[in-house]
């Protein structure tokens, strides 16, 4: 069972990819902690929003096989 993780902005730069397949994690916080450790993401969890299947969700949301997850970092524009 797996999910797709989508990366944007600085997370995409750090991961050096726009997406990847990951094993279905125990939880969203656990997934982010593992990815943060692996890629050295600069942001703490509370600085990010998380989306599952294109919709913003609470961090406590359960995941299912085949879901897509996006961690959205703060961005600035001009």
pTM for the whole structure: 0.91
| 31 confidence band (pLDDT: 50, 70, 90) | very high
> What digits encode the pLDDT tens for the residues 3-29?
999 999 999 999 999 999 999 999 999
Distances (CA, A) of 18 to 38, 49, 61, 62: 15, 17, 22, 23
């Amino acid at each position: 069972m797996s999910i797709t993780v989508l990366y944007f902005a600085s997370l995409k730069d750090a991961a050096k990819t726009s997406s990847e397949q990951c094993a279905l994690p125990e939880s969203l916080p656990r997934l982010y902690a593992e990815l943060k450790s692996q890629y050295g993401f600069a942001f703490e969890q509370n600085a990010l929003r998380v989306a599952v299947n294109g919709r913003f969700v609470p961090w406590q949301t359960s995941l299912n096989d085949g879901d897509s997850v996006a961690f959205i970092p703060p961005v600035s524009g001009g």
